[in-house]
Chains A and B, each alone.
Chain A
Amino acid sequence: MEKIQTGTGKKLKSVSYAKWGYIFIAPFFIAYIIFTLVPQLLTIYNSFFETYRIGLQQVGPNFVGLDNYIALFQPDANGTILILKYALNTMILWIAGAVPQFVIAMLLALFFTSTRLNIKGQSFFKTVIYMPNLIMAAAFSMLFYTLFSRVGPIQALLENWGVIDHTFDFFAIRVSVRGMIALMNFLMWFGNTTIVLMAGIMGIDQSLFESATIDGANSVQVFFKVTMPLLMPIFVYCLITAMIGGIQMFDVPQVLSKGDGVPNGTTRTLVMYLNGYLKTKNLGMSGAISVIMFVITGGLGAIVYKMLSAPYKDQNRKHRERKGNVL
């Protein structure tokens, strides 16, 4: 009763629906803070401590300052700085998979969206190329492991043909293991990229393509002068998300190399390294690796974004300037 009396008059005049907006977005922010932001901050915090388990016995946490970071960059007996080696592995594995992934995806996206080609049965092909993405990475990796293992069908087939002898081991050769990982990542992700790029191309006004063709541009010119600049925002988005995924590459190499990164750690990625420390709940060292990865991801993301969108922005500015001059 009292409430109604105090509230009336004033409230009726200013009905605000803004609060509903806040209410509806709040669950995301709260979930984000609890499940992402707090763990992220804790990771950074933990990276300054010595904390791990010997069996069931907890060591630490003892504050050690930057010791974990220093330890990560300490060269081993052979003079190799392992984190750099694993970072390089990760990069090689990602690039080897991402280059064909983007080239093929771009070609397919162009074919599917081309009004001239007008490919039939598009939805069938789109489903098929997306299919590998639906398989669990670990299962896909297991499949490759079984196929190429010492007692697998491919080994047997090649032995029968006399291409290799029985001492041959796909998993003892750097190029073959890296190749398999790159191939799997490519197969799993090119469908996804194709569909996103197609959506981007279809978002471009068809009349621009038409007018370019009428002006006498060939398809290569249309692609580089019309499609690419207008697709740039979507392309950059694809590239950056793919890169973040690549830096976090884990399941495919982990399962394929049984966690060891064979041969000689050349397929061990940063997250596999991090995971190695988690065996004994070493939150200090794994936290330090996480922080370094965070910095790398952020840095690379910024560089890619700057590099790819700068000329495009430049063009826009010039275009505006030119317009201004005319006026």
Chain B
Amino acid sequence: MKKLGAILMAALMLVGIVACTAKPADKPAEEPADTTVAQGKVFNIYAWNEEFKGFFEKYYTVPEGVTVNWIITPSDNGAYQQKLDEALLNQANASDDDKIDLFLAEADYIGKYVDSDYTMDISKIGFTNADTMYEYTIKAASDVNGVCKGVSFQCCPAAVIYRKSIAKDVLGTDDPAEVQAAIDSWEKFDAVAAQAKEKGYYMTASFAETFRAFSNNCTMPWVDANDNLQFDPQITKWIEQTDKYIKNGYTLTAGVWDAEKTNQMFAEGKTMCFFGPAWYYNFSMTNAMDPEKGCVGDWCIVKGPQAYFWGGTWLLAATGSDNTEMLKDIFETFTKNEDVCTKLVENEGQYPNNTKVAEKFANDPNWGNTMILDGQNDTAIFAELAKDIKWENHTNYDQILNEGLQNKLQEYFNGSIDYETAMNNFYQLIKETYPNIKLPAA
């Protein structure tokens, strides 16, 4: 009896401790006057950086009485997805105010969420896809049955952004048309790299700079229907090219996001070409825009050797959201609202997911990017490239495979290990992460 009493009391104490940390469940069931479905008061957004948050706060007016909660987890080492996955798996049990309403996903892993029941059909909340949206952005956000689960606020055709002064020194010209003619195939690009090297420049500043230009042109997915890993010829070509570039000193051993690379964007940098889409300006080129050490206006953009696209952020509607009207409203604002899309181009240097707005800028002789470029109409270049973007050969494993390959090969490229060891490390990473993927026989 005594023992039982002791245990009971102790259990009570423990319950007390635990209960103190839990939130009191006082959710008033209020009835808004003008809507048919009760809408929540808290809007939760999961994201991995502040990029969209900035646009959201500037261009979207949050309905009165709604608090927006940003849950931002960096994507390093897959942390963002781990946190998001836990929250989604718990979505059914979470209280309405704790449920995810909207979350952001990137091209490399959007399929994982779109093909699940954790995202909802946005036509059910009253959003219809507009003709002005780029086809591939809709396809990427649609599941295998073609049900669309979200939208993207950007379209990400990517190109080559080059330093005019360096191009002038190396090629004798900084005119976009002539520069493009000089680098319109990989063979020519390599030849220019050799020229740049002679003059003491780097062609690119990261071993993985050209990765996306190759990987987004793959003709087969990383993993086939039977879970076999396969190397696309484009990936092999990238490895060969990079190997050559490192050995010849055409590029640096830094990763695409490393400071060593972005430092090359300062005026004193020695690198001629950078590969990126419109989001690259704001996200990666802040050094170039540095008021003291930067070099705004010394940049131009051309298609480069191979058309491709890179990344892109999609906004996905989470199943169970109690703020469906606001969701629809956000989707409309960032895709259909021409005013907002115009501002995204004008003020933020983005390329919008709205063909009408994009065409308007592309055909405007007075429009030019002075935020970083020399006043060149980059929207016109992107508009041309955007027409050809196709969404194909993607798998849910893309992120771990694309980033894993780069990380593991970096050690080979910087000379610390041999190629076989690096590839073996890559296979080991796959084995550890997805035991179901069948690796090529050694």
Report chain B residues within 8 Å CB of A12: none
Q: How far is the CA of A280 from the CA of B400 in the complex (A)?
A: 11
B432 touches A57 (CB 8 A): no
What is the 8 Å Cβ interface bit string for chain A, positions 15-57, against chain B (1 contact, 0 not)? 0100100110011011100100000000000000010111111
Task: Check A193 for interface membership: any CB of B closer than 8 A.
Answer: no
Instruction: List B residues 418-442 near A (Cβ within 8 Å).
Output: 420-421, 424-425, 427-429, 432-436, 442
Task: Check B313 for interface membership: any CB of A closer than 8 A.
Answer: no
A26 touches B10 (CB 8 A): yes
What is the 8 Å Cβ interface bit string for chain A, positions 247-263, against chain B (1 contact, 0 not)? 00000000000111011
B7's contact among A26, A57, A264, A276, by CB below 8 Å, is which?
Answer: A26
B433's contact among A57, A260, A276, by CB below 8 Å, is which?
Answer: A276
Given contacts A23-B9, A150-B258, contact A78 B112 (CB under 8 A): no
> What's the nearest-Cβ distance from chain A to residue B20, in Å?
14
Task: Check B77 for interface membership: any CB of A closer than 8 A.
Answer: yes
Stretch of B125-133, B291-299, B409-417 contacting A (4+ beta carbons < 8 Å): B409-417
> What's the nearest-Cβ distance from chain B to residue A188, in Å?
22
Given contacts A23-B6, A77-B442, A263-B416, contact A56 B88 (CB under 8 A): yes
Size bin of chain B's contact surface: 35 or more
Q: Which 7 A-B pairs have the closest CB atoms?
A: A26-B10, A55-B112, A172-B416, A263-B416, A77-B442, A22-B6, A23-B6
Q: Which residue of B lies closest to A22 (CB)?
A: B6
Instruction: List B residues 276-324 near A (Cβ within 8 Å).
Output: none
Provide 6 A-B residue pairs closer than 8 Å at the C-beta atoms, listed in order of the A residue.
A19-B2, A26-B6, A55-B113, A172-B414, A173-B416, A262-B416
- The interface of chain B, by Cβ under 8 A from chain A, is 2-3, 5-7, 9-11, 13-14, 76-78, 82, 85, 88-89, 109, 111-113, 115-116, 118, 253-254, 258-260, 263, 396, 407, 411, 414-417, 420-421, 424-425, 427-429, 432-436, 442
B417 touches A264 (CB 8 A): yes
Q: How far is the CA of A150 from the CA of B88 in the complex (A)?
A: 38
Q: Which residue of B lies closest to A275 (CB)?
A: B77
A151 touches B263 (CB 8 A): yes
Q: A82-B428, A260-B407, A280-B433 are known contacts; what are 10 more A-B pairs with Cβ within 8 Å?
A: A19-B6, A23-B10, A30-B10, A56-B89, A77-B442, A78-B420, A149-B260, A169-B416, A264-B416, A279-B432
Given contacts A55-B112, A56-B88, A279-B82, contact A78 B421 (CB under 8 A): yes
> What's the nearest-Cβ distance from chain B to residue A26, in Å?
3
Q: How far is the CA of A173 from the CA of B416 in the complex (A)?
A: 7
A27 touches B112 (CB 8 A): no
Task: Check A277 for interface membership: any CB of B closer than 8 A.
Answer: yes
Report chain B residues within 8 Å CB of A29: 10
Given contacts A23-B6, A27-B14, A264-B411, contact A277 B113 (CB under 8 A): no
B6 touches A263 (CB 8 A): no
B396 touches A54 (CB 8 A): yes
Report chain A residues within 8 Å CB of B88: 56
Report chain B residues within 8 Å CB of A27: 10, 13-14
Report chain B residues within 8 Å CB of A56: 85, 88-89, 112-113, 116, 118
Q: How far is the CA of A16 from the CA of B77 in the complex (A)?
A: 57
B112 touches A169 (CB 8 A): no
A22 touches B3 (CB 8 A): yes
Report chain B residues within 8 Å CB of A100: none
Q: How far is the CA of A274 from the CA of B14 in the complex (A)?
A: 31
Q: Which residue of A lies closest to B255 (CB)?
A: A258
A55's contact among B396, B414, B432, B435, by CB below 8 Å, is which?
Answer: B396
> What's the nearest-Cβ distance from chain A to residue B381, in Å?
31
> What's the nearest-Cβ distance from chain A to residue B349, in Å?
26
Q: Which residue of B lies closest to A56 (CB)?
A: B116
Task: Check A76 for interface membership: any CB of B closer than 8 A.
Answer: yes
Interface centre among B6, B14, B407, B436 (most CB of A within 10 A): B6
Interface centre among A34, A53, A55, A259 (most CB of B within 10 A): A55
B411 touches A262 (CB 8 A): yes
> What's the nearest-Cβ distance from chain B to residue A52, in Å?
7
Interface centre among B396, B411, B429 (most CB of A within 10 A): B411
> What's the nearest-Cβ distance from chain A to residue B248, in Å?
14
A54 touches B434 (CB 8 A): yes
Interface centre among A23, A53, A169 (most CB of B within 10 A): A23
B9's contact among A26, A169, A258, A260, by CB below 8 Å, is which?
Answer: A26
Task: Check A282 for interface membership: any CB of B closer than 8 A.
Answer: yes
Q: Which residue of A lies closest to B113 (CB)?
A: A56
Q: How far is the CA of A213 from the CA of B14 in the complex (A)?
A: 55
Report chain B residues within 8 Å CB of A26: 6-7, 9-10
Task: Check A59 for interface membership: any CB of B closer than 8 A.
Answer: yes
A169 touches B414 (CB 8 A): yes
Q: How far is the CA of A57 from the CA of B116 in the complex (A)?
A: 8
Task: Check A229 for interface membership: any CB of B closer than 8 A.
Answer: no
B14 touches A264 (CB 8 A): no
Task: Check A233 for interface membership: any CB of B closer than 8 A.
Answer: no
Q: How far is the CA of A22 from the CA of B3 in the complex (A)?
A: 8
Report chain A residues within 8 Å CB of B260: 149-151
> What's the nearest-Cβ distance from chain A to residue B170, in Å?
21
Report chain A residues within 8 Å CB of B421: 78, 264
Given contacts A76-B424, A280-B434, contact A55 B411 (CB under 8 A): no
B428 touches A76 (CB 8 A): yes
B259's contact among A34, A149, A264, A276, by CB below 8 Å, is which?
Answer: A149
B254 touches A172 (CB 8 A): no
Q: Which residue of B lies closest to A55 (CB)?
A: B112
> What's the nearest-Cβ distance from chain A to residue B68, in Å?
25
B432 touches A276 (CB 8 A): yes
A259's contact among B77, B253, B416, by CB below 8 Å, is which?
Answer: B77
Q: Which residue of B lies closest to A23 (CB)?
A: B6
What is the 8 Å Cβ interface bit string for chain A, positions 51-82, against chain B (1 contact, 0 not)? 01111110100000000000000001110001
What is the 8 Å Cβ interface bit string for chain A, positions 123-158, against chain B (1 contact, 0 not)? 000000000000000000000000001110000000
Report chain A residues within 8 Å CB of B411: 172, 262-264
Q: How far is the CA of A31 from the CA of B82 in the complex (A)?
A: 27
Report chain A residues within 8 Å CB of B82: 279
